[in-house]
Chains A and B, each alone.
Chain A
């Protein structure tokens, strides 16, 4: 199993450009999520999905779009990049668990370091 993979590892954008960060997992996990990590801020949830066709917003969704057409893939789109979106982005996945109890650890991808000039 490759686990959770992310591409690209590094990216530099100019303000206003758009791009898609790719995330894929081969563990058949229902739950996938995107986080950004900034110094002193910890990991903040951008968007998440509990299955194909289902997405929802996290703490900091503005400026980002997601879709989930398959169980394996969960791309994150920046529509019009801004310097405030300079960050390290992590994708994570885990089994969903039951509707009442969430026990499961999350598996993280290696991250994408994005710089917006």
Chain B
């Protein structure tokens, strides 16, 4: 059965801290792994990863994929209160379907 598991489920940190969010997967015929940020509304796209070892970066956020060990991490450095959100990991596999994890809820305290 295809599945995507995210950890931790929730995280509370102080502004300025660095956080690492984890996503492991077992998906038939892996195509791509996507990270989304969700703040009380629709998910917004952050990164798409298809190849191992190539880091994607956008400002304070970065992500990397390990296709051998079947996981990805999302790093956020120097966290700000605006980073508070649910971070979703989705993996695309067979049949054009995307499988989502349950998400990691991040709260950044001033």
Q: Does A60 contact B (CB under 8 A)?
A: no
A114 to B: closest C-beta gap in Å: 15
CA gap between A48 and B96 in the complex, in Å: 9
Which residues of chain B (61-110) have a CB below 8 Å from chain A?
88, 90, 92, 95-103
B94 nearest CB neighbor, chain A only: A102
Are A43 and B96 in contact (CB-based, < 8 A)?
A: no
B43 nearest CB neighbor, chain A only: A108
With A110-B41, A110-B42: A43-B50 Cβ-Cβ less than 8 Å: no
- Which has the most chain B C-beta neighbours within 10 Å: A58, A90, A108? A108
CA gap between A96 and B98 in the complex, in Å: 12
Q: Does B7 contact A (CB under 8 A)?
A: no
7 contacts between A and B (CB under 8 A): A35-B100, A40-B102, A42-B103, A43-B88, A44-B100, A58-B97, A102-B92
Residues of B within 8 A of A (CB): 4, 31-32, 34, 41-45, 48, 50, 88, 90, 92, 95-103
